[in-house]
A and B are shown apart, each in its own frame.
Chain A
Amino acid sequence: MRRYAGKRLLHLVPIILGITFLSFILIHSVSGDAVDAIYENAGAEVPEEVKARRRAELGLDRPLLIQYADWLGGLVRGDMGVSYISGNDIFDTFISKLPNTVCLTVSSILFTVLLSIPLGILSAVRQNRFTDYLIRFLSFIGNSMPGFFVSLLLILIFSVRMGWFSAMGNDGWKSIILPTLTLSIAMASKYTRQVRAAVLEELNKDYVLGAKARGVKDSVILYKSVLKAGMLTIITLLALSIGSLLGGTAIVESIFMWDGVGRLAVDAVTMRDYPMIQAYVVWMALIYMTVNLVSDILCQILDPRIRLEGG
């Protein structure tokens, strides 16, 4: 077990280097000259010597790889420079907004699980009957609606027509409901189908037939064996979906004025605040990677079959 985790961590090193290098190059190639960007709004024309001195000060005249190493060192220490726009420390700003996004992500995942697992099981158990068709129909609809359309529809229904929530801005604890619903509807539609498929696959296995023949109750087979086996697929899929969720929050956060990193990134993009975009990409990738690692290790712990294969 420990060896597996160690091996996985080692594999991550080149990927982390790749992620950070790619993000560095991506931003570096366009922002190219941070000095020009800094002085862009200075009003008056700034003489070249001043710019050159500032460049030397910031180390922008050094070779690319050195700059990257330097930047990476800063990343590890939590020093990512200051925002071009507000002049605030990037890392501090990012960290201060992160809890809001994590909160939204966690509540969406919880709600997705609460919705999709029972519905998926129900759909599988009632295969090809009315309930199954209804659930599949609804999940199909949820799957074909882009998040921003869902959020606008929810605003239209619950804020404009019913007046239950204020459409945008702060509403205390209530303001998390609509964004969570938006994110969960899309995810739950996908997972309901996958839970259904996973459960159906397990139900068709011989051990289920064997257990039935021995007179084990259907509910016992379902909850004791089938669910346990199907759980792994679901954990892996959930971990993978964190990626799309992290990206999806950007749109939803900016619609609902949710003060998280997604909205921060969208604002940074509109204002061309390159260091902020960079921080967003790097940290989101690192978070995504960590979540995937944890889920893989979790699967190892939960599933003796993988444990044996992995050695």
Chain B
Amino acid sequence: MNTEKKLAVFTAFAAMVFLIALFAPYLTPYDPDAQDLSQALMAPCQEHMMGTDRFGRDMLSRVIMGTRSSVFSVLALVGAVAASGTAIGVYCGYFGGKADTVVMRFADICLAFPGMVFAIAIAGVMGGGITNAVLALAVISWPKYARLARGQVLSMQNSTYIQAAQMSGSGPWKVILRHILPNILGAIFVTAVLDIGTMMMEIAGLSFLGLGAMPPTAEWGSMMSNGRSMIQTSPWVILAPGCAIFITVMIFNLLGDTIRDYLDPRRKLQSE
């Protein structure tokens, strides 16, 4: 399969996940939060394709609803971090000076913390909730984008086309918006898409530890955490959300890899 075809296929998959998240309330066969203790912990059967949890809630409905919190929170996280990190990085790279030194030192300090350790501490301090989990991960992830953007800006600042634009009277913001940003967005975009999978696993991990989504919200990480004690008797309580994370992460990873290959300039040279 060539890269274009792959790109189309994986984009379609990712779009499907997004649509499931968007229309989740209309797709669930049952109310994801409706408890029915007479039907608790039913094995997968015709009525409940993924079984039920210990409160008798339909797993399939909860997994579908869970797509919503997972996908939306990860997109918000990656989008916010990529945008703010890039803005900071471009500003620091282009204008330099004291702001650059201060901000980049701060970024170094943020990077000196092992990722999840800092996130666990922040989420722990701020208390649970998926917003706090996203915030905690945002604090540790922006420096990556800031560094990437800054490096790109520095490397192109001395190129003739930037100098030409500056000499012909373009102000700094025009140079940044018209000439610098379009050139670095590709690299930022690839990094962002490749980050979606990892971030999704980290958000789910925080939820699993009880630092993310709070029950009764249907979220994959917390669903698995709640099902832990029932692993011996009713493994589907864990397998259903686990496979959902796995498949979604895989789709985004495949998409990221393909986009990277697609935008790689060497690819065009090879095919010629």
Contacts and interface: CB of A to CB of B under 8 A. Distances in A.
Nearest to B252: A144
B43 interface: no
A250 B253 contact: no
B209 A160 contact: no
Interface residues of B, number: 43
Contact of A280 (B117, B119, B126): B117
A285 B253 contact: no
Max chain A Cβ within 10 angstroms of own Cβ: one of B126, B228, B253, B254: B228
A81 interface: no
Nearest to B233: A160
Given A144-B246, A146-B249, A270 B116 contact: no
A27 interface: yes
Nearest to B110: A22
Interface string B245-268: 110011001100000000000000
Contacts of B204: 146, 148
Contacts of A146: 201, 204-205, 208, 221, 245-246, 249
B210 interface: yes
Contacts of A208: none
Contacts of B114: 242-244, 246-247, 284-285, 288
A93 B115 CA distance: 23
A17 B228 CA distance: 40
B105 interface: yes
Contact of A274 (B125, B210, B221): B125
A141 to B, nearest CB: 7
A258 to B, nearest CB: 14
Interface in B127-182: none
Contacts of A145: 245-246, 249
Given A247-B120, A269-B209, A288-B114, 11 more contacts: A18-B112, A22-B109, A27-B121, A141-B250, A143-B197, A143-B253, A153-B242, A244-B116, A269-B121, A280-B117, A289-B112
Interface of B: 105-106, 108-109, 112-126, 197, 201, 204-205, 208-211, 221, 224-225, 228, 231-232, 235, 238-239, 242, 245-246, 249-250, 253-254
10 contacts: A27-B121, A30-B125, A140-B254, A144-B246, A149-B238, A246-B114, A248-B116, A272-B124, A281-B121, A289-B112
Interface of A: 14-15, 18-19, 22-23, 26-27, 29-31, 140-141, 143-149, 152-153, 155-156, 160, 167, 242-244, 246-248, 250-251, 254-255, 265-266, 268-270, 272, 274, 277-278, 280-281, 284-285, 288-289
